[in-house]
Amino acid sequence: MNTLQLKRTIDFKLPMAVLDQSLTPDGLIAACMDGVYFVRFADKSHQKIDQHESYVSSVRVVAGGARAISAGYDGALHWHDLRQPRRERRLQLHEFWSWDMRVAPNEKWLASVTGQYLAGGYKYEPQAEREPSVRVVDVESGELLQALPHVPSVQAVACSPDSQFVAAGNLMGEVRVWNVDSGELVADWTTPDFTSWGIIKSHCYLGGVFALEFTPDGADLLLAGMGPMRDPMAGNGRQLWQRWRWRDEPPRKISETKKDQAGEGLMETLAFHPSGEYFAMGGRLRGGAWNLGLFSLESGDLIGSLKTGYRVTEAQFTPDGRRLVLVGTQGQPSKHEQGRFPDFGRVEVYEIS
């Protein structure tokens, strides 16, 4: 039963799909298909401040809103001075895409993940990585701190609240956790529930872990994606999160989305409310009542929801916990109108009560 209400207070569009966001004191920095945007809520204005050689997949604001770091499908990191604004530095970190990038809470280091799924044998198991799938970099200097092995493609990364650990999840539902200082692998397990083997329209693995978040106390890891299907191309797996006690030996699943509270669709983002009492999960809707759900951390119950009408790529709560900010994309226009694509990036802000 829904106990939290969400009231939309801000709603506008950006020129291209928004793949990630990071909040600033007066708006957000958006990672879009065509570049990095400075967005202000007060007048719904946007300013393109940089672009990568391909889609911008991730962005994070640091230094109290003075700087931002973006990552893209060009495998590069860009540092931005938001006071100018201007690009400060470019670092070619990966040979392939940066699927996801996150900055540690202490802002000392960041982690980016990469990897391309290529069939490695007659069972279509992934080939071994061609480069380290997880790289950890010093936020200030750009120095490479750790190059950590995983099985490609690695699509989600998370930093622990105490900034001591980094976790990464891949296409096959394999999750690994490392100590950042030593590079020691401290947890390693596989959950097959997020991966699908196509037998109808395609012969390959699809899906995987698309979002990761440590619980506020650091004891557990939340994973998000989509439940298995016979036809992965249909995208009709169950909207799925799982909670894992990662420090246990072996790690164990302690809860997941309740079947009677979920529809169908790929879930791509997780965010904890500042209170730590509940979290948001969002993504695409294939069938059901919602594509953005709020869940009690204690019970796992759905306590609030939205049917946005568009793909939610990133959800973030404001620091005071009063608002939820969503970004994403609504369709993908196939033709120009007056020499340009219609705007199809989405930004929404909701008051929570």
Mean pLDDT of successive 10-residue stretches along the chain, which has 353 residues: 90 97 97 97 97 98 96 98 95 98 98 96 92 98 98 98 98 98 98 86 85 98 92 82 98 97 96 98 96 98 98 98 97 73 94 97
Q: What is the pLDDT of residue 201?
A: 67
Q: Does residue 1 lie in a domain region?
A: no
Strand, coil or helix: what is 260? Answer: helix
The answer to whether residues 333 and 345 touch, using CB atoms and an 8 Å cutoff, is: no
Q: What is the pLDDT of residue 163?
A: 98
State which residues form the domain around 146: 6-352
Q: Does residue 290 lie in a domain region?
A: yes
Look at residues 62, 61, 67, 146 and name the one whose alpha carbon lies nearest to residue 112. Answer: 146
Q: What is the pLDDT of residue 1?
A: 55
| Total domains present in the chain | 1
pTM assigned to the model: 0.96
The answer to whether residues 283 and 300 touch, using CB atoms and an 8 Å cutoff, is: no
Q: What is the pLDDT of residue 190?
A: 98
- Distance CA(186)–CA(84), nearest Å, equals 42
User: In Å, how far are 36, 100, 159 from 56, measured between CA atoms?
Assistant: 7, 10, 20
Taking each continuous run of H as one helix and of E as one strand, the counts in the chain are 0, 30
CATH number, domain containing residue 259: 2.130.10.10
